[in-house]
Each structure stands twice: as C-alpha cells, then as structure tokens.
C-alpha cells in the first residue's frame, strides 16, 4: 500500500498543478496537487514534527499489533492502516521542507472539502473495516437466542 501511495504521489507531482483541478466527477471529485504540512483538514500544520513523531509511534504500535494478532481479518485491517500510515510518514520524513518536517503530497480533491491521497483512502478503509470488525465481534451485536420452554 505504501509503495502504491508513493508512486501515485510522484505521478501526481509530475502531471498535476496546484492551481488547476482536473474534474473526474464534475465538482464532486477531481485531481489537484496540494502539499499538506498538517493532518486531516490541515490540523496541526504548525506542528509537523509532532505529527512525524506520532506517525512513527503509530507505525511501531501497528507492527507490534500485527505480530500479536492471530486473526487474518485483523491482520488485514492492521496491514491496510499500516500501509496508509507508512505512506504519509515517508512524506513527513523525506519530503520538503526538511527531514521530519515534510509536507504530505495530496492530489485527490473531494469537492471543496479537502484534498487527500491513497494513504488517506487506505487509512479510512482500514479504520472502517476495523470498526465493522469490532461491531461484529461485540456480544451486544449478536442476536440473542431464546430457548423454547414448551409453553406456547
């Protein structure tokens, strides 16, 4: 996932503009190059180094979780989230303006809401699948069985 993310970001940098949007589905979805020093919706843009540290810690935690899981489903969820986290972490580590303070390359424009990338899509899918997995495994999510007592 991280390799696909990095490849699409380099392609976006070579083919897209920061000033012009290429419409894919009218105004709803398009392609436009952007650089984000912050997290989602540019939150924390003044603390890029802190986001890098959080990304490193999250990646380590995901590796530990992946090594401990015995479930193929959870391993898949962890892998998808990990791939997204590593994709954006690589930008933070090695992209301009400086090591550990790099801006994340974005290029998928969601209307006028925000611009993201493949790593962001992977993170959203992974978190969504994880939440579904938690709901499915919750005892409250299972239907209750009633025993027949013979009284009808």
Cβ neighbours of 81 (radius 10 Å): 24
Our answer to whether residue 91 is catalytic in this structure is no
- Provide CB contacts within 8 A for 109, sequence distance 6+: 21, 29, 30, 31, 32, 34, 115
**Catalytic-labelled residue, pool 5, 27, 91, 120:** 120
Name the pairing type of β-strands 22-25 and 29-36: antiparallel
Give the H or E element holding residue 116.
strand 114-116
Q: Which long-range contacts (CB under 8 A, 24 or more apart) does 43-49 make?
A: 48/92, 48/100, 48/101, 48/102, 48/103, 49/100, 49/101
Our answer to whether residue 120 is catalytic in this structure is yes
**Catalytic-labelled residue, pool 5, 27, 91, 106:** 106
- Whether 30 and 23 have beta carbons less than 8 Å apart is answered as yes
Please identify every residue annotated as catalytic.
106, 120
């Amino acid at each position: 996932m991280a390799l696909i993310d990095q490849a699409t970001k380099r392609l976006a940098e070579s083919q897209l503009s920061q000033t012009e949007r290429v419409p894919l589905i009218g105004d709803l979805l398009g392609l436009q190059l952007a650089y984000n020093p912050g997290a989602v919706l540019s939150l924390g843009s003044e603390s890029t180094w802190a986001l890098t540290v959080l990304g490193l810690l999250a990646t380590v935690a995901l590796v530990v979780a992946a090594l401990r899981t015995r479930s193929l489903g959870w391993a898949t969820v962890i892998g998808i989230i990990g791939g997204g986290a590593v994709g954006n972490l690589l930008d933070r580590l090695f992209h301009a303006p400086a090591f550990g303070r790099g801006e994340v390359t974005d290029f998928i424009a969601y209307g006028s809401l925000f611009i993201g990338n493949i790593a962001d899509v992977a993170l959203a899918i992974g978190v969504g699948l994880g939440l579904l997995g938690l709901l499915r495994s919750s005892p409250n999510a299972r239907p209750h069985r009633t025993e027949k007592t013979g009284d009808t």
